[in-house]
Structure formats: C-alpha cells, structure tokens
Amino acid sequence: MFKIKTHFHFILFLALAPLGLFAEEGMLIPSVIQAFESDMKARGMKLSARDIYDVNNASLKDAILHFNGGCTAELVSDRGLLLTNHHCGYSQIQSHSSLQNDYLKNGFWAKNLNEELPNNSLYAARMVRIDDVTKAIMFGINEGTPEAERRQKIAENSKKIIEDAQRGSEYKAEIKEFNYGNDYYIIVKEIFTDVRLVGTPPNAIGKFGGDTDNWVWPRHTGDFSVFRVYAGKDNKPAGYSKENVPYKPLHYLPISMLPRKSGDFTMVYGFPGTTEQHVVSAQIKHIVEKERPARVQMRESALSVIDAGMRSSDEVRIKYSAKQARIANAWKKWIGQIDGLVSLDAVQVKKDYEAKYVKRAETNSSWSKYATIVDKMNRLMIENSKVDYEYAVMVEYLTIGPEIFSLARTFAGLEKEIEDGLTGEALASKKVALQSSIEGFFKNYDGGIDQKIFQKVSETYIKLLGEQGIPEELRNIDLAKYTQKLYDKSFLTDKDRALSMLGKLNSKKIKSLKKDAAYSLYKGVLNQLITSVLPKYRVFNQQMEESLKVYVEGKYVMFPNEKHWADANGTLRITYGALEGSSPTDGMMYTEHTTTDGILAKHRTGNADFELLPDMVEKFKQKDFGPYAQDNELWVCFSGSNHTTGGNSGSPVIDGEGRLMGLNFDRSWESTMSDYMFDPDRCRNIVVDIRYVLWVMDKYAGATHLVDEMKLVK
Ligand code: ARG
Ligand code: GLU
C-alpha cells in the first residue's frame, strides 16, 4: 500500500512571497513536527520539536484542550485555569444569564472557587497521543480489494486498534482519516467533564464590534472567557461533583508580558475544523455562483427578523443572542469567501493547476489513474450541482429556519421509538427526560419572532427550490394565512400544548401527532430530503471522496518537492508564521496591532455594535495600563500570518519560547477564502493580546486573583 506521509521529509520550501513575508500555508500534525523544526527555528523559534509535542514527557500540547469539540482552549495555571474565546463560552454564559443576572451585559467574575458555575454537558479534552496507524488499518487490504470489503476491513481493524489503545486506561481513542483515506491516525484523549465558568467580560468587551466587526480587521474585540477544569481527587476526569478539585495540568502556558513587534515568530496550536484545499475548479465555481449565494439568502431572511426583534426588546435579545451569533457568523464568512475567491480568480487558478497536474500525469504510464481523475471530479461536480444545491437549501431550512422544526425533530424521535415498541415504564421515563428539554426549548423561544421567521424563510425557500423542490404542504398556498393558522393551532408553537402532546403520546395517539399541520410540514420537508436528495447526495459524496483519495495521492507522488499538508479535520494541528500586518487590496495597508484608542473611536460612531458601558469609557480614557502597556499604549488585538480556520478559536498564539501572546479568535474578511485557497499576502488571523485580557481582568473587573494565579514573564 502506498503511503504518502513519508514525503513530509522531502519538503522543499517555496520562495517567500514579498508581503506575506513570514506566512506559511499548512496545518501540521504535531507528531510530524520534527520535519519542520529547522524551518521554524530559522523563523525565530527557540523551542525544539520535543518541547512542542512529546508523548513521554510533558510538552506544550498538554496545555491545549479541545473545548466542547468545537473550539480550542489553553491551561494557564497549575490549578486548571482555562482560557478560551468569549464566543466559544457564549452558550454557557448565555445559559447562566437572566434579566436579573445579565452576565451578557455586565460580565461575571467568580470571587472564589465556590462561586464558579458548573455547566451541563461541557467538556474539554487533552490529546494524550496522536499516532500514524495507516499500516495497521490497512492490514489485509491491497490495491485489488473491492471497495465494500475495504471499508469492512478498515472498520474491523479500527475497532481492534481502538480496543487495544483503551485497554486498562480511562482514555478514549478514536481513528481519524487524513488525506481522504491515504493516511489514518489514532487519537487518544483524556476527556474532562467538570468544566466551570470562572469569568467573562461584558458583551461590550467580549463581543465588542458585534456583527459589524466580525471577520474584520482592524479589530478591537476582547474575545475571551475564563473557565476552570476540575478533576477527581486523583486528578483524573470525573463528572461534576462538589468534591472535585481543580485539575493539576502536566503543562500550562506562561504569559508573555514582553514587548512585541512586527516579524516576531508566532505559532498557533489548536483544533482547526475543516479546510478543503483540494476542491476542483468546477466545485469552486459551484460554491461561488450557486451554493453559497443560496445559503446566504436563507440566512439573510432569518436574520432580518431576529435582528429587528433583538433591537426592540431586551428579553428577545437575551433569548436570541446565541442563536443570532451562530447564524450570522457563517453568513458573513460566506460572503467574504465568495468575494475572496472571485478576487483571487480561484476558478482559473484551479484550472491552471489541474492542467499542470494532468500534463505531469501524462509523462509516466504508471500515473494514468491521475491523468483522468481531474476530469472525473469536475464532471462529478457538474452532474451533481443540482442535488448539492438542494441539499444545502434544505439543510438551511431545517437548521436555521423556524425553530419549531427543531422541536418537531424531538417529537419525530419519540414517534419512531414508540413505533418501534416503546411503552410503559420505559416510555414514561423517556417522557420525563423530554419534558425538561421541551421546557428548555421554550425558555429561549418567542412565538411572535418564530412566526415571522417561518414566513420570511419559507418564502425564500419556495423561491429557491421552486414547486418541484418543496413539499405538498407549501404548494399553491397563501403563505401569510397558512403561517397564521400554523402558529395559532400547532402544538409545536406553544409550551402547554407541546407538553400536553408529550403527556398523552402513545401508540394510539400517534395519529393526532401526524395530523398537526406544522408537524406534517416538518415531516414533508424531511421526507423530501431523505427520499429525493440524500440518496444521490450520498453517492456523489462517496464518489468525490474516493476520487479525492486518488487526486491527493497524485499530488504527493508527482510533486514530491512541493509542500503538502493534510486538510484540517478537527484534530490537533500546528501552524506558524509571524505577527504581521498586510496589504489586502491595492492601496490599503493594515498595521499589525490595534489599541484602546480605536475602541473609543469606534464607540464615537454611535453604531450599537460599539456600545460601551459608562465605566469603560472612563477606564479607557484614564489610560491606567500598568504593566500591560507597551510604549504607553495598550494593545487590544494583533494580526498574524498563521493559517487558521474555524475551530482555531480560542487557540493560543505562542511565541518562540512557548509563552502565550494572545488568543486566536478570527480571520480578516480578505482571508476567509483560505479554507479553499491560502494567499500568504493577505491571509491573516486575528488575535486578542493576552495583555489586554489581563488588563480587563485586573484593572477593569478587579479579578486580580486570577492574574495572580498565572505565571507572567516580564
Ligand atoms: N468569526 C469568528 C468565528 O468564526 C467569531 C464569531 C463570534 N462573533 C460574532 N460576532 N458572531 O467564530
Ligand atoms: N471564530 C472562528 C472559530 O470559532 C475562528 C475564525 C476562523 O474561522 O478562522 O473557530
């Protein structure tokens, strides 16, 4: 079996681009970081590869945790103090907030361990080790093994490898595919489930700039929140208990209070989610012209209602803040990606590369499978453009459309279980659990808002899919009347009706569930997705995955001297570059850092996203920056040329000696296309300077005891 990973050692580095002086594309797997040590050292790193990743001794990696599977967080004290972004802890902060205790608006700071707030179903995972297990996974498989048998063998081998890795430990193991099945790695993790909220700044700091500034440089957001990992008395993971004690980490990051300057080495260590560097030209064209614009329109419909509602009522603001942020975030990113891909002329860049790839493949008869793969992938995409589009629009409808769909999903799950024979005691106890989730649902629900969302988003949905693509229920109707009736009558739109439906539901009463108009619409949409879209979509995806395996293999085989890296897949990665600004468009220069003066300047514009609390204006004007200042100013954010993506939020930005400089939390508008195509000239990650974080804790919030827990390097 061909193993492409070995080529990591033969990498030659591309000539440095003029402006992205220090930018380096790629998200590297920690266990192969050795291969990059000398390059990193040449750029100013003083650490060794072993300081960064070591299985047998404490190393940097032990301070980096996967935060609830979606963000990154880092340990900064010997008592389990954990930093991540404000937007990563947002749903926890929101769930502890109420009109009485408005932590979103005013912030929250636990004065001692007793005041730290437990969080249901929040976890933080440490990577114990990451190892290449391709050989063991491929055991019993060769070039001629048929696809179905191949999959079966891989599943069997994985199961055994996982069992071996977990035996006799509390660790959890997982096998992950890299490079579209060319490589496999085992990830062994230690999962902490008692993670408590310690502190958060007010939204006016943690979300300063809101949607106006999201994905934008220059930036002034203090995007951080503070948690603490607790463990049992034996320092091992344990479920929440009063008896638990702060976790004592193997390693935690010291804090860099040192002056910074453009060109300083930076490294981002975290859990990037998804990149798709290998999509072919037809796919870029499809994304830019069809798929993304449709998704953007769906979200615009939902946001127009939510935004207006949040502006007009504090209650709605609190209920919808987390939901709004989730919907708006991808919406704005996608617009940036479309722009970026167009301005990079990405379709043409891909076409040129594809031509080069095919030409090379034709020079060697053993490369014939590479010679045909590009054309096959482009054709696949063109043939499946419709199904991919429909899939995207339907998923948007079901996930960011009216919220009654998510309640319908809960009932659909129960319906299925009852049909499968759930009765008596078992059914009763299931209902107890569902009752609290339904109550939770209505805590953050506003019927008037959801009704407007329904009407607005359904209108867009019908327009985007046309009569053929929508279920019976939506055809030839007066949407306004239909909506009104639905929200007046359905059990899904009212807490009491929903609970009463839950109470009476059994095999005999399933009929009344099915008679409900909103419920049957949900089923109709889902049914269309499942019957007329998903089967084709799945085949398409599988064929694309199989093709990608060959295509990517060809890149490593035919261009061994080019730099290759595995797409992000939610596993721990390292990316490095420098603290630096950029020139994103002709005639425009972005400097590399911002200060508190910029906060006041934005505040003066009067835009509600730049609102400050009165005491903040005072504090910023006083300029009492103490040890956190550099040249009499307080850095708020800086940008870096590190290749990051979603999931890197909260990732530590680490200097050449392993000290924490700040928390990654965003990319600039001009860089969002880096999920498909990295451009060293303009791709910049956005970081909140740790000195600003500490200033907010210490001088603004008076939570000096937290700063005292950390190790500051001056
Ligand atoms: N754009 C950042 C990321 O992708 C931050 C999102 C949170 N901020 C916001 N205004 N929604 O997650
Ligand atoms: N804010 C993003 C996150 O939550 C990081 C920004 C990006 O996509 O680079 O992971």
- Looking at residue 14, its pLDDT comes to 38
Question: Which atom, in ligand 1's list, is nearest to the CA of 332?
Answer: 1
Give the count of domains, the chain.
1
pLDDT digits (tens, 9 = 90+) for 28-58: 999 999 999 999 999 999 999 999 999 999 9
Instruction: Tell me how crowded residue 609 is: count the other CB atoms within 10 A of its CB.
Output: 16
Instruction: Output the six-digit token pair for 603.
Output: 């505040």
Answer for the pair 75, 211: CB distance below 8 angstroms, yes or no: no
Q: Which one of the ligands is nearest to 90 CA?
A: 1
Q: Note whether residue 463 is domain-resident.
A: yes
The answer to whether the CB of 571 is under 6 A from ligand 1 is: no
Confidence band, pLDDT 50/70/90 cuts, at residue 387: very high
pLDDT digits (tens, 9 = 90+) for 436-482: 999 999 999 999 999 999 999 999 999 999 988 999 999 999 999 99
- Looking at residue 538, its pLDDT comes to 97
Q: H or E segment at 163?
A: helix 147-166
- Looking at residue 1, its pLDDT comes to 37
| Ligand 1, atom 7, residue with closest C-alpha | 87
Q: Name 602's Cβ contacts closer than 8 Å, sequence gap at least 6.
A: 208, 209, 213, 220, 610
| Ligand 1, atom 3, residue with closest C-alpha | 666
51, 62, 183, 223: which is the annotated catalytic residue?
Answer: 223
pLDDT at 253 over 80: yes
Beta bridge partners of 37: none
List strand residue ranges (DSSP E) for 31-164, in order: 64-67, 71-75, 81-84, 108-109, 124-132
Q: Name 653's Cβ contacts closer than 8 Å, sequence gap at least 6.
A: 266, 267, 268, 640, 642, 660, 661, 662, 663, 664, 685, 687
Q: Which one of the ligands is nearest to 86 CA?
A: 1
Q: Is 649 a catalytic residue?
A: yes
Q: What is the DSSP string of 441-488?
A: HHHT--HHHHHHHHHHHHHHHHHHHHHHHS-GGGTT--HHHHHHHHHH
The SS3 call for residue 424 is helix
The answer to whether the CB of 90 is under 6 A from ligand 2 is: no
Q: Tell me the best of 271, 645, 673, 682 to mutate to test the pocket of ligand 2, counting ligand atoms within 8 Å of each CB and taking the most.
A: 645
| Ligand 2, atom 2, residue with closest C-alpha | 646
**Spatial distance between the Cα atoms of 361 and 373, rounded to a whole number of angstroms:** 10
The SS3 call for residue 539 is helix
The answer to whether the CB of 223 is under 6 A from ligand 2 is: no
The answer to whether the CB of 214 is under 6 A from ligand 1 is: yes
The SS3 call for residue 431 is helix
Instruction: Tell me how crowded residue 96 is: count the other CB atoms within 10 A of its CB.
Output: 16
Cα of 4 vs centre of ligand 1, distance in Å, is: 35
Please state whether beta strands 183-192 and 81-84 pair in parallel, antiparallel, or not at all (unpaired): unpaired
The answer to whether the CB of 215 is under 6 A from ligand 2 is: no
The answer to whether the CB of 209 is under 6 A from ligand 1 is: no
pLDDT at 2 over 90: no
- Looking at residue 20, its pLDDT comes to 57
Q: Note whether residue 529 is domain-resident.
A: yes
Cα of 485 vs centre of ligand 2, distance in Å, is: 40
Q: Note whether residue 292 is domain-resident.
A: yes
Q: What is the DSSP string of 690-710?
A: HHHHHHIIIIIT--HHHHHHS
Confidence band, pLDDT 50/70/90 cuts, at residue 9: very low
Confidence band, pLDDT 50/70/90 cuts, at residue 17: very low
**Nearest of 704, 584, 607 to residue 218 by alpha carbon:** 584
Q: Give percent above pLDDT 90 in the chain.
A: 94
Q: Which one of the ligands is nearest to 215 CA?
A: 1
Q: Tell me the best of 68, 87, 664 to mutate to test the pocket of ligand 1, counting ligand atoms within 8 Å of each CB and taking the most.
A: 87
Cα of 665 vs centre of ligand 1, distance in Å, is: 7
Q: Is 31 a catalytic residue?
A: no
Cα of 215 vs centre of ligand 2, distance in Å, is: 9
Kindly state the average pLDDT of the residues 348-371. Answer: 97
Which residues in 212-228 are b (16+ Cβ under 10 Å) and which e? ebbbbbbbbbbbbbbbb
Place of tokens 């990743």: 53
Q: Is 87 a catalytic residue?
A: yes
Q: Note whether residue 29 is domain-resident.
A: no
pLDDT digits (tens, 9 = 90+) for 141-159: 998 999 899 999 999 999 9
The answer to whether the CB of 328 is under 6 A from ligand 1 is: yes
Q: What is the DSSP string of 50-80?
A: HHH--SSS--GGGGEEEETTTEEEEE-STT-
Q: Name 416's Cβ contacts closer than 8 Å, sequence gap at least 6.
A: none
Q: Note whether residue 187 is domain-resident.
A: no
Q: Note whether residue 256 is domain-resident.
A: no
Confidence band, pLDDT 50/70/90 cuts, at residue 712: very high
Confidence band, pLDDT 50/70/90 cuts, at residue 18: very low
On the 0-12 / 13-18 / 19+ scale of CB atoms within 10 A, 643 is buried
The answer to whether the CB of 562 is under 6 A from ligand 1 is: no
The answer to whether the CB of 215 is under 6 A from ligand 1 is: yes
Which residue range forms the structural domain that includes residue 334?
A: 281-550
Instruction: Tell me how crowded residue 572 is: count the other CB atoms within 10 A of its CB.
Output: 25
Q: H or E segment at 342?
A: helix 314-343
pLDDT digits (tens, 9 = 90+) for 660-690: 999 999 999 999 999 999 999 999 999 999 9
**Spatial distance between the Cα atoms of 410 and 268, rounded to a whole number of angstroms:** 39
Cα of 213 vs centre of ligand 2, distance in Å, is: 14
pLDDT at 5 over 80: no
Q: Give percent above pLDDT 70 in the chain.
A: 97
Q: Note whether residue 538 is domain-resident.
A: yes
7, 66, 86, 87: which is the annotated catalytic residue?
Answer: 87
Question: Which atom, in ligand 1's list, is nearest to the CA of 210?
Answer: 10
Q: Note whether residue 315 is domain-resident.
A: yes
Cα of 177 vs centre of ligand 2, distance in Å, is: 22
- Looking at residue 12, its pLDDT comes to 38
Q: What is the DSSP letter of 532?
A: I
Instruction: Output the six-digit token pair for 612.
Output: 């400050």
The answer to whether the CB of 619 is under 6 A from ligand 1 is: no
CA count, 13 A, side-chain hemisphere, 2: 15
The answer to whether the CB of 668 is under 6 A from ligand 1 is: no
Q: What is the number of H-type helices and E-type strands within the chain?
A: 26, 19
The answer to whether the CB of 329 is under 6 A from ligand 1 is: yes
Q: Which one of the ligands is nearest to 640 CA?
A: 2
pLDDT at 284 over 60: yes
pLDDT at 7 over 80: no
The answer to whether the CB of 666 is under 6 A from ligand 2 is: yes
